[in-house]
Structure 1
Amino acid sequence: MQGILKGAVLAGTVTFGCVVGAPGPAAAMGIIEKACVGSERGSAAAVLCTCIQQVADQVLAPSDQHKGAALFDDPHKSQELRQSPDENDESFWLKWKEYGAAAERYCS
Structure 2
Amino acid sequence: SAPKVDIGELARVIARQGITAVYFTTALFDAMASEAVESLSGLREIWTGGDVLSAPALQRVLDACPDTSVVHAYGPTESTVFCSYQAFGPGERVVE
Task: Please give the range of the TM-score, normalised by the shorter of the 2 chains.
Answer: under 0.3
Q: Which has the higher contact order (CA 8 A, sep 6+)?
A: 1
* Normalised TM-score (structure 2): 0.25
TM-score with structure 1 setting the length: 0.23
